[in-house]
Amino acid sequence: MSRAREWGRGIPPRRVDLSVRIGSLELRNPVLTASGTFGYGDEYAHVVDLRRLGGIVTKTVTVRPRPGNAPTRIAETAGGMLNSIGLENVGLARFRSEKLPRLAELKATVIASVGGETEDELAELLEALGAEPGVAAFEINFSCPNVAAGGARYWASPSRLEATMRRLRPLSPRPLIAKLSPDVTDIRDTARACEAGGADALTAVNTFVGMSIDLDRMRSRLGRATGGLSGPAIKPLALARCHEAAHAVGIPVIGSGGVAGGRDALEFIAAGAAAVQIGTATFVEPAVAVRVVDEMREWLASHGITRVADFRGTFAAPAAQGCAPADARELAEDRP
Ligand SMILES: Cc1cc2nc3c(=O)[nH]c(=O)nc-3n(C[C@H](O)[C@H](O)[C@H](O)COP(=O)(O)O)c2cc1C
């Protein structure tokens, strides 16, 4: 019998409860927009009713404004895109004085993404913004592949992550979400380090380091040699990292990478994610996140599932299906 049959009879979509908890934060549904792909949110308010989303994760803000990397910053690839934006952002002062008041007017649930080249810089950001009433939670960007300092490689060290989270945790009463890079030997190590340091949740994952060469000009298609790969091309990779991270820690994990429809989102939830983020798909369809909410609701209703929270982690690890490679067996043994 197929797994779907076990879920029972359909129910009206309006009966499905999509609310989820991320630490102390209750979200009306598990769909968030991903940092850097939805501006600061207000730019999209004329096409998307932000109140219909679980929340928006704003563009990573740093203490000082950053101009970002030299062009070219975007290149299309098969099933995805490479970017080397390099954390262009308005800086802390303008984020606080211009962006947060505008988002409060729009009644969006705001998760502010913060980034720093050092632990000190992250501490400065949280000291300044930690008690802002307009910020529901913080996402700490430990995973940007496109900056020369303080990027994914710098933050790939579990001991550095743990020490930094320990220092940041007391600086805000809001949930702190650590956003992880997929480009590490074992994401379980970085996930557990953040949890040990006091993270309330994780986001898995940021973009994968990638390259594209224009052979005729023998030049990178980006202004830098490498960029971050995102979009449908990375979904299977991101799903695997998210599944691993979710089974390694007790805190909620938010899935990110290639989500473009309700079924994609539900794959992440089945793999153990509490919520998902949508990034690149927004460039093709600005209101995609709202469609994803509706599609999730309909799929769950048609399978008789009344609470998305009950669907979380329902995918049984391949070991249980008797076809596991060694790593997946090891993963199943690690389950709490
Ligand atoms: C153009 C662009 C800019 C991004 N900027 C940021 C950023 O500032 N901070 C961050 O944490 N992630 C950033 N990301 C990564 C996304 O938030 C997301 O984690 C990643 O793209 C994978 O999801 P997707 O496949 O749905 O796009 C950016 C991605 C893109 C494509």
> Where are the chain's structural domains?
3-334
Q: Distance (Å, rounded) from C-alpha 315 to C-alpha 93?
A: 44
Name the CATH architecture for the domain at 3-334: Alpha-Beta Barrel (3.20)
Whose Cα sits closest to atom 23 in ligand 1? 257
Q: β-strand 31-33 against 55-57: which pairing, if any?
A: parallel
The per-residue pLDDT string of the chain (336 residues; one tens digit each, 9 = 90 and over) reads 445 446 778 999 999 999 999 999 999 999 999 999 999 988 999 999 999 999 999 999 999 999 999 999 999 999 999 999 999 999 999 999 999 999 899 889 999 999 999 999 999 999 999 999 999 999 999 999 988 888 999 999 999 999 999 999 999 999 999 999 999 999 999 999 999 999 999 999 999 999 999 999 999 999 999 999 999 999 999 999 999 999 999 999 999 999 999 999 999 999 999 999 999 999 999 999 999 999 999 999 999 999 999 999 999 876 644 334 444 445 444 444
**Two tokens, residue 335:** 């389950």
Whose Cα sits closest to atom 4 in ligand 1? 36
Cα 34 to ligand 1 centroid, rounded to whole Å: 6
Per-position DSSP letters for 80-129, written without gaps between them: EEEE-----B-HHHHIIIIIHHHHHHTT--EEEEE--SSHHHHHHHHHHH
DSSP 3: G
Q: Is 97 exposed, middle or buried (0-12, 13-18, 19+ CB in 10 A)?
A: exposed
Q: Which amino acid is at 235?
A: K
CB 141 within 8 A of CB 35: yes
Q: Could you tell me the pTM of the whole model?
A: 0.94
280 in contact with ligand 1, CB cutoff 6 A: yes
